[in-house]
Structures are given as structure tokens and as C-alpha cells.
């Protein structure tokens, strides 16, 4: 049996980037503070010294410009990894991402591929205030032509990047800021993960908790709390927001017949709304109770710690939503 290795989510991301740079001379990293500073969240620390400024490229504060350069480099045959400091700032590059990266392969009838990977930090919980703390991955999941990944585990953080770089189309990877410091065991026997399927992280028969990103550990904690009351919750880690792995979702809900969707995005127009709508369309008669959602409050994420905590989904909120679907239990 292979020995387990304990590493942080941050280190898993760094190792994934380093492996990509070693494996393919066409690969390079570009973004704000990725070089001398080592990355806003220290993910690229040490890579400038190892690979040099031609492959670890510090850029000006101009997301539209350097994302456009990344698209051009991908069209020319390179394999760029573009880092946008926080997903809030990705809106400055939305024109390039949506109107160029996502559409060029289709507008050219497949004559051009855009093998671009864009990494960005997402989410609240670190008191970075409203301009650095939102969860906008659901917005990008609305756009055809993109793949949208949300690694929630060390294993996915370590191996999703390689699969993303192998994809001929643009891939966005959203790394939740709270996860960077988290550590867990990494099985050396695992050398790859797919970027097409959701994953059952905890089995159960009474209800399904469907989630992604930093809401995964919250749902796992909620499942433990519910288990103490005899309620068995299944936890589904979406992992990929576009394309959604609807068969895995429906298979789980068909067995448990109740569902709570947990999404750090705002409830209005969120990925949780999309999943709820698809369940209503394709699995309504499999449900024994209404679909419930636990999302962030519909406010800009506050700076004050107690207000930020209140604005984001909490374990207690998930437990309460689950218990409401099972009256008389717990």
C-alpha cells in the first residue's frame, strides 16, 4: 500500500503548476504578482526562481489585456495558465473570456482551438470585503464554450490542472480562498482526476446535499451532525459546474428523494437555481419534498467578521434546511 502524503490545498495547486511547466515547454504562467511576490495567495511562490521570467510572467493590473494575451498565446499554440487575482476582477476580462475565448472555436467552425486555463480565487470567509469575496463561478457556468471547475479537495486541486491543460477549449478553475490553508492526505497512487463528473463524498439514504467548493466541508460537517440524530445525508461534490453532471445528481436524488442545494453564490440566478430547475424538469416525481437551497445572503459580502459569517452559508443553516425536509426526525 502506498504511503499517504499530507499536503495543503495551496501546495497541491503549486505542485500542479510546477508539473505542467516541467512537462510542456509551451506552458507558462501569467498574472498579477505571480512572479516576485509569489502569487497573491502564495501559490506560485518559488516558481520564478526555478523557471525564470519568460515562463512566470508578472503583468500590469490590466485583466482585459493579459487575458487577451493569454487567448492569443493559446491560439498560437502555447499553453498559458492565466491567474486572475480574485474572481471579482475577472469581470474586467469578461469581454475577452466570453466574446473571444468561449466563442472563437465555434465562430471558426472548429478551425481554431483556445487551450487556455484561467485560475482565479473565489469566495468569502477571509475578511477581504465586497470587492474580493464574491462567488461568481455560477455566472461563468452560464456561458457555452467554457468548462468551469471548482476543486474542493487537495486531490482535485493537485490533478485538475493537467486535465484542464489537455482540453482544447478554455477552462476556468475557481479556487476558494478558505481552502488554501487546509490540509489533507494525498494518495500517491492517484495520478489523475477527470473534469467531467461529480463525486459522492459521503453516502446516505435520507436526503442529498449537493454542493461545491468551500461549501463541501460545511456539508460534510452537516452530514456528521445529522448522523448523530439518525439522519443519513448523502453529499455530492459537483466539482464541475459546466457541464453539469446531471446523471449523478438525479441518481442520488432518486434514491434519497429529498435535496438541499448549498451554494455560496447569491440565490437569485445562481447555480443552485439552475440545478433546482433541472431537477424540477427531469426528476420532479422522484421528490418527496420541496427542493431547498442554502445560499449567501443577497448583499455584498461584508468586511466585519461576524457580518461576513452571517452572510455566508453556515453548517447550522444546512442542518436546519435538511431537518425541515424530515419533520419528526432529529
Rounded-to-5 percentages of helix, strand, coil across the chain? 40, 20, 40
C-beta neighbour count of 300 within 10 angstroms? 13
d(CA 172, CA 320): 33
Q: Which residues contact 184 (CB under 8 A, 6 or more apart)?
A: 6, 7, 9, 153, 154
Assigned C-alpha cell, 8 = 495543503
Distance in angstroms (rounded) separating the CA atoms of residues 43 and 275: 32
CA 99 distance to own-chain centroid: 22
Residues 165 and 169: their CA atoms lie apart, in Å, by: 9
- Residues in Cβ contact with 204 at an 8 Å cutoff, skipping those fewer than 6 apart: 223, 231, 232, 233, 234, 235, 256
| Structural element, H or E, at residue 200 | strand 199-202
Task: Select which of 11, 63, 175, 264 is catalytic.
Answer: 63
Do residues 115 and 169 touch, judged by C-beta distance below 8 A? Answer: yes
Provide the edge-to-edge strand list for the sheet that holds 27-31: 56-58, 27-31, 79-84, 117-122, 171-176, 147-149, 240-242
Of residues 11, 83, 132, 137, which has the active-site annotation?
132
| 127, 137 contact by CB (below 8 A) | no
Task: Output the CA angle 269-274-280, nearest 5 degrees.
Answer: 125
Q: Which of 11, 19, 70 is nearest to 38 (CA)?
A: 11
63 given a catalytic annotation: yes
Please give the positions annotated as active site.
Answer: 63, 132
Amino acid at each position: 500500500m502506498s504511503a499517504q502524503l499530507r499536503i495543503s490545498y495551496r501546495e497541491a495547486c503549486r505542485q500542479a503548476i510546477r508539473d505542467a511547466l516541467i512537462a510542456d515547454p509551451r506552458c507558462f504562467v501569467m498574472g498579477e504578482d505571480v512572479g516576485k511576490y509569489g502569487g497573491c495567495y502564495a501559490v506560485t511562490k518559488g516558481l520564478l526562481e526555478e523557471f525564470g521570467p519568460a515562463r512566470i510572467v508578472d503583468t500590469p493590473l490590466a485583466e482585459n489585456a493579459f487575458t487577451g494575451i493569454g487567448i492569443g498565446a493559446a491560439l498560437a499554440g502555447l499553453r498559458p495558465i492565466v491567474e486572475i487575482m480574485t474572481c471579482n476582477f475577472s469581470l474586467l476580462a469578461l469581454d475577452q473570456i466570453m466574446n473571444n475565448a468561449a466563442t472563437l472555436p465555434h465562430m471558426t467552425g472548429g478551425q481554431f482551438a483556445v487551450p487556455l486555463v484561467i485560475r482565479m480565487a473565489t469566495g468569502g470567509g477571509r475578511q477581504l470585503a465586497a470587492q474580493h469575496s464574491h462567488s461568481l463561478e455560477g455566472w461563468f457556468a452560464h456561458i457555452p464554450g467554457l468548462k468551469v471547475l471548482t476543486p474542493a479537495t487537495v486531490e482535485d486541486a493537485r490533478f485538475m490542472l493537467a486535465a484542464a491543460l489537455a482540453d482544447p477549449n478554455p477552462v476556468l478553475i475557481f479556487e476558494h480562498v478558505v481552502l488554501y490553508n487546509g490540509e489533507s492526505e494525498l494518495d500517491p497512487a492517484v495520478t489523475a482526476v477527470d473534469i467531467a463528473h461529480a463525486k459522492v463524498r459521503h453516502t446516505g439514504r435520507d436526503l442529498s446535499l449537493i454542493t461545491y467548493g468551500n461549501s463541501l466541508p460545511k456539508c460534510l460537517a452537516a452530514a456528521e451532525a445529522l448522523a448523530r440524530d439518525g439522519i443519513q445525508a448523502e453529499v455530492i461534490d459537483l466539482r464541475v459546474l459546466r457541464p453539469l453532471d446531471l446523471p449523478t445528481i438525479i441518481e442520488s436524488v432518486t434514491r434519497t428523494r429529498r435535496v438541499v442545494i448549498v451554494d455560496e453564490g447569491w440565490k437569485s440566478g445562481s447555480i443552485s437555481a439552475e440545478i433546482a430547475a433541472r431537477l424540477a424538469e427531469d426528476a420532479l416525481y422522484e421528490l418527496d419534498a420541496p427542493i431547498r437551497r442554502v445560499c449567501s445572503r443577497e448583499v455584498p459580502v461584508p468586511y466585519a467578521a461576524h457580518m461576513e459569517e452571517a452572510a455566508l452559508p453556515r453548517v447550522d443553516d444546512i442542518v436546519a434546511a435538511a431537518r425541515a425536509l424530515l419533520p419528526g426526525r432529529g
